[in-house]
Amino acid sequence: MKKTIILGASSNPERYAYKATVKLANHGHEVFPIGLKAGTIEGHEILLNNPIIKDVDTVTLYVGQKNQPPYYDYILNQIKPKRIIFNPGAENAELEKMAQEKGIETEVACTLVLLSLGNY
């Protein structure tokens, strides 16, 4: 089972990060929603304060570019995922370049679309 961090998670069912958490879990992925506010997403607790999670396959970003810099070290040096997905609105050429320099695969795509096409 592949581990996925949903960065920018929200307990609001209208948010795409919420929908992605549910859909990823339904597709058999081990999900780790991380957000700024405590809450749950269909039984998955939203984690706070950048918890260290080992052996992460993917970080899927739902945080806008201007709010991403505080997460750079966390993503690149603490989590060290195999891949980062930049969802619509989270595109960031600077973070993408930094990730690629560390050997982390990057993808500008929508997690929900990738799942629906079987390309996740």
Report the predicted TM-score, pTM, of the whole model to 2 decimal places.
0.96
Q: Which residue has the tokens 């970003």?
A: 61
Name the residue type at position 85: I
Residue 24 is classified by DSSP as H
Name the pLDDT band for 62 (thresholds 50, 70, 90).
very high
Q: Return the beta strands (E) in the chain as ranges.
A: 3-7, 30-34, 40-41, 44-45, 58-61, 83-86, 105-108
d(CA 33, CA 120): 17
Average pLDDT over the chain reads 97
pLDDT for 81-114, tens place per residue?
999 999 999 999 999 999 999 999 999 999 999 9
Structural domains in the chain, CATH included, are: 3-117 (3.40.50.720)
